[in-house]
Amino acid sequence: MEGLQQTVNSFLDSFSIQLQEFGPKDAIDILIVAVLFYYIIRFFSDRRAGRLAVGVIVLLLVEGAAVLFNLVALKFIMEHVFQVGVLALIIIFQPEMRSLLESMGGDSLRSLKSIRRDSNSAAAEKMIGALCQTASDLSLKKTGALIVIERDSKLGDIIASGTVINADVEPYLLENIFFNKAPLHDGAVIIRDGRIWAAGCLLPLSQNHDIIKDLGTRHRAAIGMSENTDAVVIVVSEETGNISLALGGRLKREYDYASLKSELMTLLVEPSAKKKSGKTSSGNDYAENS
């Protein structure tokens, strides 16, 4: 107990000295670190990696206890665990780290890009109307479809896996692409700058084991795409004709023409769309990546 008391007293003395020397620069430093931690915690809290982050925090607490109470054997083990663990964490969290960096890069340019979005709102509304009409028509025919709308995260690597088309967004053209005898119907269509940029593209499948087993490959690809980018992905089920939307690692279903149009207008046209990303009012939760 005496050793613990000495440690506490030493900490309090050091804290008192630092508090006396506290200045504006220190306040700014603390504010920046607090904001950084806030965004990191918010990012991981909505993803499967949040569980892994909790495990890492537990290991840090165990190592801290080993150092505090001078538990030699436990301290030795934890030191070696963390030597290997840093590399393991980089590998485990690679998709989440990539997504975090992409979202941070997108945040820094949002204010500038929102000006361009506002000026192109009429064209965006026309494109959204065409996409909703296509999804509704394909839903009635129970024809499967996968449409990815590019936003801030560039999808050049995904486009390279398909066939470049670069055509206007027209319902009849999209319906022909997804016709089950067409050569490009199995892949995804990429919408870039309000145009059908490519078709027959291959998307990464989600590795989330929490997704319900009833979901097919098309829906898993939609979730996987939304996990790694900020793209909005529209899915039409070939089995049921249900229209779903994937965003931020979540899949929502039971859309019709009106609700899908309202959702896409909020995400792609309205200036406040970014603040509402992943928190929508229409559609029902179907599967979550959390």
Is pLDDT at 44 greater than 80 in this prediction? no
Is pLDDT at 57 greater than 90 in this prediction? no
Range of the domain at 87: 2-107
Quote the pLDDT of residue 16. 73
Is pLDDT at 215 greater than 60 in this prediction? yes
Is residue 271 located within the same domain as residue 185?
yes
Is pLDDT at 35 greater than 90 in this prediction? no
Taking residues 26-50, report their average pLDDT: 73
Is residue 233 located within the same domain as residue 96?
no
Gap between the Cα atoms of 184 and 175, Å rounded? 11
Is pLDDT at 287 greater than 60 in this prediction? no
Is pLDDT at 189 greater than 90 in this prediction? yes
Is residue 146 located within the same domain as residue 232?
yes
Is residue 140 located within the same domain as residue 245?
yes
Q: Last residue of a domain, which of 54, 87, 107?
A: 107
Is pLDDT at 108 greater than 70 in this prediction? no
Quote the pLDDT of residue 54. 72
Q: Which residue, among 170, 96, 181, has the nearest Cα to 137 in the 3D structure?
A: 170
Taking residues 215-231, report their average pLDDT: 89
In this predicted model, which residue has the larger pLDDT, 166 or 100?
166
Quote the pLDDT of residue 110. 47
Is residue 81 located within the same domain as residue 123?
no
**H-type alpha helices, 108-211:** 110-119, 121-141, 156-159, 171-177
Quote the pLDDT of residue 264. 93
Is pLDDT at 289 greater than 60 in this prediction? no
* CATH number reported for the structural domain that contains residue 195 in this entry: 3.40.1700.10
Q: Which residue, among 177, 287, 168, 129, has the nearest Cα to 188 in the 3D structure?
A: 177
Is residue 75 located within the same domain as residue 170?
no
In this predicted model, which residue has the larger pLDDT, 179 or 88?
179
Gap between the Cα atoms of 257 and 254, Å rounded? 10
Taking residues 255-262, report their average pLDDT: 94
Gap between the Cα atoms of 124 and 129, Å rounded? 9
Is residue 150 located within the same domain as residue 241?
yes
- Please give the share of the chain, as a percent, with pLDDT higher than 70: 72
Quote the pLDDT of residue 263. 93
Is residue 232 located within the same domain as residue 198?
yes
Quote the pLDDT of residue 271. 43
Domain count within the chain: 2
Helix (H, G, I), strand (E, B) or coil at 235: strand
Q: What is the mean pLDDT of the chain?
A: 78
pLDDT-derived band of residue 216, with 50, 70 and 90 as boundaries? confident
Is residue 53 located within the same domain as residue 142?
no
Cα within 13 Å of Cα(61), Cβ side: 6
Is residue 114 located within the same domain as residue 248?
yes
Residue 173 makes CB contacts below 8 A (sequence gap 6+) with 167, 196
Is residue 265 located within the same domain as residue 128?
yes
Taking residues 178-190, report their average pLDDT: 91
Residues facing residue 246 across a β-bridge: 233, 251
Tell me if the pTM is above 0.75.
Answer: no
Is pLDDT at 25 greater than 50 in this prediction? yes
Q: Last residue of a domain, which of 90, 107, 124?
A: 107
Q: Last residue of a domain, which of 83, 107, 131?
A: 107
Is residue 209 located within the same domain as residue 150?
yes
In this predicted model, which residue has the larger pLDDT, 208 or 178?
178
